[in-house]
Structures are given as C-alpha cells and as structure tokens.
Structure 1
Amino acid sequence: MLKLNRVLIVLLTFTMISCSEHTMDEITETTDLNPLAEQYVKLALMVGKHQDYYIDAYYGPQEWQASAEKLPLAKLALMADQLIVAIEETEPESTQQLRADMLLVQTRSVKAFIDQLNGIDLSFDEESMALYDAKSPDFNEQDFDRALADLDKLLPGDGDLNIRMEQFKSEFVIPVEKLDSVFTAAITESRTRTKAFIELPENENFTVEYVNNQPWSAYNWYKGKSFSLIQVNTDQPIYIDRAIDLASHEGYPGHHVFNSLMEKHLVNQNGWIEYSVYPLYSPLSLLAEGSANYGIHVAYSHEQRLAFEKDVLFPLAGIDASKVELYYQIQEVLGRLSYAGNVAAKRYLDGEINRAEAVAFLMKYSLSTESRSNQRVSFFERYRAYVINYNLGQDIVNNYVESRAGDNIEKRWQIFADLLANPKSASMMLVR
C-alpha cells in the first residue's frame, strides 16, 4: 500500500491546489502514469508564473494554463518533491519505461529550477547537471591555442587574428535586403531534404519574422498544431553559412520538426500529456538544441552543402563564391573553438572573471567581434548554463546516432527521427 498511498498524496495535493475535476474515487483507482503526467504539466505551468520565459511552448488544455496560480515557491518545491517520489515508485509496463524515465528526469529538473528561483546557488556545472542532465567537458586555453595557430596559417594577412577574421568574413555577409530570399531558399531546400526521410504532419507550416534587440541569433516559437513562428535577429551581420544553419536548426530537421513530431506521436497519438509543455530549462532542451545542430549534418553532407551554397545561395546573396572552399576550411577550424563559449560562460557565471574579461575571452578564443561578444555574454546572463545544449548536445546526439547508423544514410535518418519522436535525456543517450 505504500506505493499507492504515496501516489495518492501527490495527486490529492495537486487536486486541492489546481482544482482538478477528478473525484476521490477516480483518483483512488488511478495507478498509471497519466495522472502524474497531468500534475507535472500543471506544476510546470505554475513555475512559469515565476519566470516569463520558463515555458517555451505549451499546447495542452487551455483551461490548465488559465487556472495556473502563482503559488509560493516553497509550496511548489514540496509539490515537486512529492511528485518525484510518486514517479519513482511507479512500476510502468515495459512499453512505458522510457516515458516514466523521462517524466522523472524532467520533474527533477523542474524541482532544481524551483530551488534556484528560491535562492539556492548552484555552480555552472551543478546547474547544467540539475537542469539538463549533462556537464560540459573541461577545456582550457591550451586546447584552443592549437586551433588559433591553424587559423593563423589559413587567414589572409598578418597581425591580430580577430581583425583578420572579421575582414575575411566581411566578404560573406548576406545583404539585409537579400536576407529573406536567401533564407527562404535555404529553408525550402532543408524542408525538401527532410521530407524525403521523415513523414511530417500534412498541415505543418511556419512563419518567418526578422527582429532586433535580442540576445539570440534566431528562435523558434512553437505554437502547436505543427505551426512555428521563426524569428531571425538582424542585430549582427548574418554570414552566408548561417542561412542553412538557421534554416535547418530552427526549421528542418530542427526545432520545428522536433516539436511537430512530439505533438503528433506523443501527445496526439499516445496521449502523453507531459509533452504538451516544454520548459526551456530542462533535459528536453539538450536534445532539442543538440538534434537541431546535428540535423544540419544529417540533411547535408559537406559536399552537398558546398554545392548548394555555391550554386544557389551565393548567387542569391550576390556573394563571390570563388573563396568558398577556403571559407569552409576556416569554418571547420572555428568549430574546434566551439567550447570556448562554455568556458567563458562557466568562468563568468561562477564569478571567476568579470563581464569585460568574458568579452575579451570570447574575442580571442571565439574570434567574435566586440559587439557580438557582448551579445553572447548577454545570452549567458539570461540563459546561464543553457549554452551547453548547443555543442555538448550536438556531440551527444551525433555519437548516439552515428554509433547506431554508421555510414548508412537512411538508417541515420531513421534513428534520428525516432529519437525526435521518442525523446531521451543526455544520460539515456550515453547508455548503449
């Protein structure tokens, strides 16, 4: 009886607070995951009342969102603890084990975020483990210096690498007046490539907006019913390689596809209501960002990407394609500096360096301009350890898919699509 009583405690707690329509008899008879999943959704929505951008997407019952109260954080922490115990003590059928595991890790993440809102300080690594089920590997300046030495040989000219990089990349900026036509061509191609391997909902669609004054370069706001609003920030120059990056990351086979598949398979077909809410600071984000970055390489081989950009995107943007090979040689080396951003974020948020020092670190080791580096630090300040989800997430998803698919392109797409439709957290993806 202990297991059932624990479940009843958490369900009754939520019933009294969220005005659930379940009667006492109905709750007593409930032993599956559905009631616990419902309480998870309601808990997440209530936490969202304490932080404006905690809920990234929601397409569950509107009355749940409308009735979500801004309860004291101590009360929400108690509710989260009770829900964790109840999930831990369920014995789901084998077909529901992954669902139970994800519900548990997601709820633990909600509890960790409540604790942070309640003033509990976590280091960068502690926060990333608590919220995203992963920790960024340790890198230092020596790891990045080797890449800088290689860039010094590749970049034209002499002197400061940052200045030379900016001068070289300035030839590859998409003119603002041509941005929409270039981005539209990129997203159309990415969509075609994705639909050749993944069956998408018939009504899936999106709208693109160009915005300013944001700490991110682009954002997908998933609205439900397979519709997304994709916003592209034009504060900083957008380079030609970013067209495919953004089209694939935000659209196909990235965030738009990920959310559409979750809604289609998990919410609509399976009735797993917990996937109707997407807390931004959660293990789902590592998969979302990691798969969106890795998806670029699933959709395009290096040769395919080079050919499409050289033949289609460069002419649309009015950019000379004669240096495209050198451009991508440099981009490949820049990829080895990816974790420099994690190092800067960790040191800055842990109080080891100040803002000016974080900007200087990014200028040297990410080779970004002062303006772009300041924008990046603003991202750290708002989203904190979320930064690990892009590069570490990509590496984890890459290893998960490639280790199972090898060089088989169709199998790679199959495993990738299955992962999007049946999400796993970082620790689950690391287990063979």
Structure 2
Amino acid sequence: MTFRHAVSAAALAASLLLGAPAFAATPGAATPGAEVLNRIAEDFVRMTLEAGVREPGYVDAYYGPEALQNTAKVAPRPVSVLRKEADRLQGLLGHIPDKDLDADEKRRKLFLKGQIKAAQTRLAMIAGDKFSFQDEAEGLFGVRPVLKPLKSYDPILARLDKLVPGKGDLASRVDAFQNKYVIPTDKLEPVMKAGIAACKAKTEEHIKLPANERFDLSFVTGKPWSGYNWYQGKAHSLIEINTDLPIYISRALDLGCHEGYPGHHVLNALLEEKLTKGKGWVEFSVYPLFSPQSFIAEGSANFGIELAFPGDSKTAFERDKLYPLAGLDPKTAQAYGELQEAKAALSSAGNTIAAEYLAGRMTKEQAVQAMMKYSLYSRGGAEKRVAFVETYRSYVINYNLGQDMVRAHVNRAGKTEDARWKAMERVISEPTTPADLRK
C-alpha cells in the first residue's frame, strides 16, 4: 500500500518543522500545495546554508535574511543530520499531488526536486561516499554526460594542425600563436571594461534589466578559475578576473558576456527580481553551487557569448574596438578568430580527461599532458585546468554540455534574433531545469 498521493496539503504542512517564518509571506499562495512548497523551500534554504558551513564554497550566493545565515554559522547541524533533512524534504515534495498546484508551482516543485537531489548527492560526497564521474554529474547537475574517447577528437586536431603555422607539436604551436594576442597588463582594465560594456549594450537591446543593476570589477590571483561572478543581491555583482596566466584578447567578450551580460550577473538579477521578490520563492535567495542551477547558469552564460555576438560579429568587434585598445594588430584578428572557433570543437574533451583523472586512471601529469594535447592549453593553462578539476570535479560538464543544450533549446524557439533572445530570457528568469532544455 502506498501513501504517495494520500496525504493532504494541510497534513503535510503540519508535518514540517514549525519554527517562526524567516521570510515574508509568498504573494498569492492560493493553491492547496503552495504553502507546503513555501515551507519546504524555507527548510531547503536553512539546510543549504548549514551545508555551506560544513563545506566552504558550497553556497555560491545568498541574499536572504542575515539572521538565518548567522544562525547557520552558529549552530550548523552535522552532515549526517543534514542528509536526513534532505531526504525528508525530498519525501515531502514527492507527496504533493500535482492537482494541488498550478502550472508555475509544478515547475517550482520540479526545480526544488532537482536542487534537493543535488543536496542529497553532495552531502553524501561530503560524508565520504564515492560516485563515478557520470553518477556524480547526474546527481549534482541533473544530466548524465556521454564521455567520448579521446581518440575521437583526433580528426579535429588534424584539421587544427593544418590551420596553425610553424613546426613542432600542435599545442606548442597554438601556444606560440596565441601569445601574440595577450592583452598587455597596463591595457587589461580598459579592454575588459570595454568588453563588458559591449556585452551589456547587446543584452539591453533585448532584455529589460532590473533598475540600479551594477557590478564591480576586480583583478585577483591564486584562483583555479579564470573569472567569477560573486552575486551580492540587489542586482549587484562582484566580477573577479584571475590574472595568474596571460589573458588573451578573446577573453574580454567571453568573460564580459559569461560573467556579466547576459550571463551570471543578469541571470541572478532576474531570478532575484522575478522569483525571489516577485513571487516570494525563497529557494532562489540561495544558490548552492553543486546543483542543476549551475548547469543552467554556466550553459546559458557560455551560450550568451554567441547569442550576443553571432557569426563573425565577435571577431569584427574585437578587431575594430578591442585590438586598438590593447595595442594589437587588427589585421591579424581574422586568423585568431578562426583558431578560436576551431578549438571550440574540442570543448568536451575535458570531460573525458576529468573523468579519467578523478577515477585514478590518469596521473596528474598524464591529465596535464592530455589537456595540452586535446584541449590545446599551454602548460600553465593545463595545470590550472587540472587544478579546477581537482576542486570542482564533474562541474566541468556545465560549460560545454550545458552550452550545447541551451543553444539547442534557444535555437528551437525560432530563426529570428528576437525569438531567440526571448527564449534566452525565459531560461535565465524562470525555474528552468535541465529537462526543460530538451523541449
């Protein structure tokens, strides 16, 4: 006998931990299941904040009540208890009948299920449980990646070999070629700001941004990533650019779109405006890094580059605006643009390398060498990428597989630029799940 749909919304609400509400009442919570979702969402926020104390870096952003965060810091529950809490919340979600929810609330329920499944997986990892790369990725991000054998990328390398001048191994030749396109240190800030401004202008043509949105730009060192958006709440972001390695001219628009517009900054600002404030959905006030939300965030941020600058327009803008700012020769922009486009076909090779390395089937040096050969990183870049894998593990799938799925979803919306931007806005302002991208 099952009780899956035999529990009323009122009974479910009574079964939740009944503390003083930390959040304001949700506007228009009229359906029988809405209040249950609200209480599950509040407990999800508490659980996530406490998990963030147990694992630094687990919480990427939080802009809810400060008192709730302070409580989590003072008295976080043990990981074993947090695992039981995640199981409890998942069980409660499974018992909310769809008939008790409207269409928006059904999407909210599915979003929460994915977020809580990710919490169950990550808390198990914190406790010491081991997963295969694919099981881990599916549990955390809601998508099971297909890992291609590295030899399947050999034809792409063969094509690139003909494109890059010089003698010697391909990775070294690519490195030497790209070194001609490094932004000088004294030009870095104006070039990056010009790139971000261009990404914002393109985005504002299609998406109405929240009032008073803004970002601060900072340059840092000693990080495993190349750029990071730290969302502060109230439509404000801190965008950090890592200068450990040389920054190529192509990265100005890449980082400007990815970290800023229409990437992470815009996604977080829209979710805050439309869901946290507009609907009172408190689960969006906290962003657990290891969750399907990151699959959507990274995939849309990467696709946002080509959405804002389709075809040859990226190379043209760099040639006309950024090369002069950086003191580089605009006449060589086309050749560099062609190389970047060709290299993009290798993006998923890093998933296979990460899986092999994390499973112990590659040593660290073998992983570095594989990154150099199949992702065409410099030695320093390959070491930095392996360090990223060590820190973030299967998170790497979000950049390439996420981009592929967002691209396919947005392009299905229509052939016009307007239709695609509208589809993109829905992706980054609604409770989008990886399953939604298949529609």
**TM-score, length-scaled by structure 1:** 0.94
Decide whether aligned partners of structure 1 residues 71 and 323 sit closer, same or farther in structure 2, where only a CA change above 3 A counts.
same
Q: How does 1:201-212 map to 2 (within 5 A)?
A: 201-212=210-221
2:126 pairs with one of 117, 130, 133: 117
1:411 pairs with one of 419, 422, 438: 419
Matching residue of 1:384: 393
Decide whether aligned partners of structure 1 residues 49 and 3 sit closer, same or farther in structure 2, where only a CA change above 3 A counts.
farther
Instruction: Please tell me whether the aligned partners of residues 182 and 249 of structure 2 are also in contact (alpha carbons under 8 angstroms).
Output: yes
1:247 aligns with 2:256: yes
1:320 aligns with 2:329: yes
1:44 aligns with 2:31: no
Decide whether aligned partners of structure 1 residues 30 and 292 sit closer, same or farther in structure 2, where only a CA change above 3 A counts.
closer
After superposition, what is the alpha-carbon deviation per residue over 1:254-298, rounded to whole angstroms, capped at 9, x for unaligned? 000000000000011111111000000000000000000001111
Q: Secondary structure at the match of 1:393?
A: helix
Distance in structure 1 (CA, Å) of the matches to 2:173 and 2:305 = 27
Distance in structure 2 (CA, Å) of the matches to 1:94 and 1:331 = 42
Matching residue of 1:85: 91
After superposition, what is the alpha-carbon deviation per residue over 1:89-140, rounded to whole angstroms, capped at 9, x for unaligned? 1132223111111011111111111111111111111100000001222211
Letter in 2 for 1:144: Y
1:345 aligns with 2:354: yes
| 1:333, distance to aligned residue in structure 2 (A) | 1.4
| 1:63, distance to aligned residue in structure 2 (A) | 1.2
Matching residue of 1:11: 16
| 1:4, distance to aligned residue in structure 2 (A) | 4.5
Decide whether aligned partners of structure 1 residues 343 and 9 sit closer, same or farther in structure 2, where only a CA change above 3 A counts.
farther
Structure 1 residues not aligned, in runs of 5+: 23-27
1:142 aligns with 2:151: yes
Distance in structure 2 (CA, Å) of the matches to 1:32 and 1:215 = 40
1:72 aligns with 2:78: yes
Distance in structure 2 (CA, Å) of the matches to 1:325 and 1:20 = 58
Distance in structure 2 (CA, Å) of the matches to 1:21 and 1:240 = 46
Q: Secondary structure at the match of 1:228?
A: strand
Distance in structure 2 (CA, Å) of the matches to 1:142 and 1:315 = 40
Distance in structure 2 (CA, Å) of the matches to 1:423 and 1:152 = 43
Letter in 1 for 2:225: W
Matching residue of 2:29: none
Decide whether aligned partners of structure 1 residues 4 and 197 sit closer, same or farther in structure 2, where only a CA change above 3 A counts.
closer
| 1:9, distance to aligned residue in structure 2 (A) | 6.7
Letter in 1 for 2:16: L
| 1:196, distance to aligned residue in structure 2 (A) | 1.0
Instruction: Please tell me whether the aligned partners of residues 6 and 86 of structure 1 are also in contact (alpha carbons under 8 angstroms).
Output: no
| 1:35, distance to aligned residue in structure 2 (A) | 1.0
Decide whether aligned partners of structure 1 residues 21 and 143 sit closer, same or farther in structure 2, where only a CA change above 3 A counts.
closer
Letter in 2 for 1:90: I
After superposition, what is the alpha-carbon deviation per residue over 1:204-240, rounded to whole angstroms, capped at 9, x for unaligned? 0000000001000000000000000000000001001
Distance in structure 2 (CA, Å) of the matches to 1:383 and 1:159 = 33
Q: Secondary structure at the match of 1:302?
A: coil
Instruction: Please tell me whether the aligned partners of residues 287 and 423 of structure 1 are also in contact (alpha carbons under 8 angstroms).
Output: no
- Greater shift, 327-336 or 383-392, is seen at 327-336
After superposition, what is the alpha-carbon deviation per residue over 1:150-169, rounded to whole angstroms, capped at 9, x for unaligned? 11111111221111111111
Matching residue of 2:7: 2
Decide whether aligned partners of structure 1 residues 33 and 237 sit closer, same or farther in structure 2, where only a CA change above 3 A counts.
same
1:402 pairs with one of 397, 406, 411: 411
Q: Secondary structure at the match of 2:143?
A: coil
| 1:428, distance to aligned residue in structure 2 (A) | 2.7
Q: Secondary structure at the match of 1:138?
A: coil
After superposition, what is the alpha-carbon deviation per residue over 1:163-208, rounded to whole angstroms, capped at 9, x for unaligned? 1111111111000110001011111111111111100111000000
Distance in structure 2 (CA, Å) of the matches to 1:2 and 1:247 = 49
Structure 2 residues not aligned, in runs of 5+: 1-5, 24-31
1:365 aligns with 2:374: yes
1:428 aligns with 2:433: no
1:62 aligns with 2:66: yes
Matching residue of 2:104: 95
- Greater shift, 271-280 or 29-38, is seen at 29-38
1:332 pairs with one of 341, 344, 356: 341
Q: How does 1:184-333 map to 2 (within 5 A)?
A: 184-333=193-342
After superposition, what is the alpha-carbon deviation per residue over 1:307-341, rounded to whole angstroms, capped at 9, x for unaligned? 21111100000011222211121111111111111
Corresponding residue pairs, total: 421
Distance in structure 2 (CA, Å) of the matches to 1:94 and 1:151 = 48
**TM-score, length-scaled by structure 2:** 0.93
- Greater shift, 151-160 or 260-269, is seen at 151-160
Q: Secondary structure at the match of 2:76?
A: coil
Distance in structure 1 (CA, Å) of the matches to 2:400 and 2:142 = 14
Distance in structure 1 (CA, Å) of the matches to 2:33 and 2:109 = 19
The root-mean-square deviation of aligned C-alpha atoms, in Å, is: 1.8
After superposition, what is the alpha-carbon deviation per residue over 1:42-66, rounded to whole angstroms, capped at 9, x for unaligned? 1111111111100000011111111
Q: Secondary structure at the match of 1:32?
A: helix
Decide whether aligned partners of structure 1 residues 126 and 3 sit closer, same or farther in structure 2, where only a CA change above 3 A counts.
farther
Instruction: Please tell me whether the aligned partners of residues 13 and 35 of structure 2 are also in contact (alpha carbons under 8 angstroms).
Output: no
Distance in structure 2 (CA, Å) of the matches to 1:181 and 1:371 = 25
| 1:6, distance to aligned residue in structure 2 (A) | 6.8
Matching residue of 1:180: 189
Distance in structure 2 (CA, Å) of the matches to 1:73 and 1:10 = 22
Matching residue of 2:384: 375
